[in-house]
Amino acid sequence: MGNKAEVWQGTLALMVLKTLEAMGPLHGYGIARRIEQTSGNRLALNYGTLYPALLKLEQEGAIEAEWGLSDNHRKAKFYRLTRAGRKQLARAAQDWEQATAILALFLAPGEGGA
């Protein structure tokens, strides 16, 4: 339990967008499972936090929702990336890469100062 990482502030939306880009339309439960799998089960994701995040993305126009049928023939609400969502994903991914690259420079051993 102790060695699972918490989801950092603001990264959940990015993970959701990336998941939807990779997987196509998917319901909330599916997205949650997929995020966990992708992280190699290293993330402690509280599934409940996903729904306000999905609502926020929907309000921002990054995703759209529609009721459909799941693989097991259960009624489920499917989320799909919109054009605006793709752009937002591209921008956020770039920002994130840049941020991690900068942080990596700081954390690299032996570089710089005395």
Partner 1 sequence: MKTLRASIVRLGGLLHQQRREADLAAEIESHIAMHTDDAMRAGLTREQARRQALLKLGGVEAVKEAWRDRRGVPFLEHLWLDLKFALRQLRKNPAFAGAAVLVLALGMCASTAIFAFVDAALVRPLPYPGAARLVAVTETSAGFRRANLSYLDYQDWKHFNTVFQSFDVYSGGGFLFHGPDGAEPARAGRVSAGFFRTLGVTPLLGRGFLASEEGPGAPRVVMLAHGTWQQRFGGRPDILGRAVTLSGESYTIVGVLPADFQFAPLGAAEFWTVIDARSGCAVRRSCHDLDGVARLKPGATMASAVANLASIARQLEQQYPDSNRGRGVSVILFAELVSGDFRPILMLLMGGAGLLLLIACVNVASLVLARAEARKREMAVRSALGASRARLCSQFVTEAVLLVAGAGALSLLTASVLIETLKKLIPAAMLPQMSFLRDLGLNPAVLAYAAMVAVLAVAWFSLAPLLHLAASKTRDSLAEGARGATGKAWRRLGSRLVVVELAIAMVLLAGAALLGKSLYRLLHVNLGFRPDHLALITVAAPDVSYGAKERNVALGREIVSRVASLPGVESVALTTQPPVTYNGNTDWIRIVRKPYHGGHIEVNERDVSAGYFQTIGARLLHGRYFSDAEDASKPKVLVINETFAERYFPGEDPIGRQIGDTQLTPKSIWTIIGVVADIRDGALDSEIWPTEYHPFNQDPSTYFTVMARTRQKPEALLPVLGPVIHQLHPDVGSTGETTIEASINSSMTAYLHRSSAWLVGGFAATALLLGVVGLYGVVAYSVSQRTREIGVRMALGAGRVSVYRMILQEAGRLAAAGIALGAAGSVAAATLARKLLFGVSSWDAPTLAAVAGLLGIAALAASFVPARRAARVNVVEALRCE
| Cα–Cα distance, 4 to 43 (Å, whole number) | 5
- How far does CA 50 lie from the centroid of its chain? 9
Q: Is 90 in the site for partner 1 (CB under 8 A)?
A: no
Given 11, 49, 98, 100, the residue binding partner 1 (CB under 8 A): 49
Identity of the residue numbered 100: T
Choice between 68 and 102, CB closer to partner 1 = 68
Q: What angle do CA 50, 52, 53 make, to 5 degrees?
A: 60
Nearest approach, Cβ of 83 to partner 1 (angstroms)? 13
Q: In the structure encoding, which two tokens stand for residue 23, read together?
A: 């997987």
Nearest approach, Cβ of 61 to partner 1 (angstroms)? 6
The binding site for partner 1 (CB under 8 A) comprises 27-30, 33, 46-49, 51-52, 55-56, 59-62, 70, 72, 74-77, 84, 88
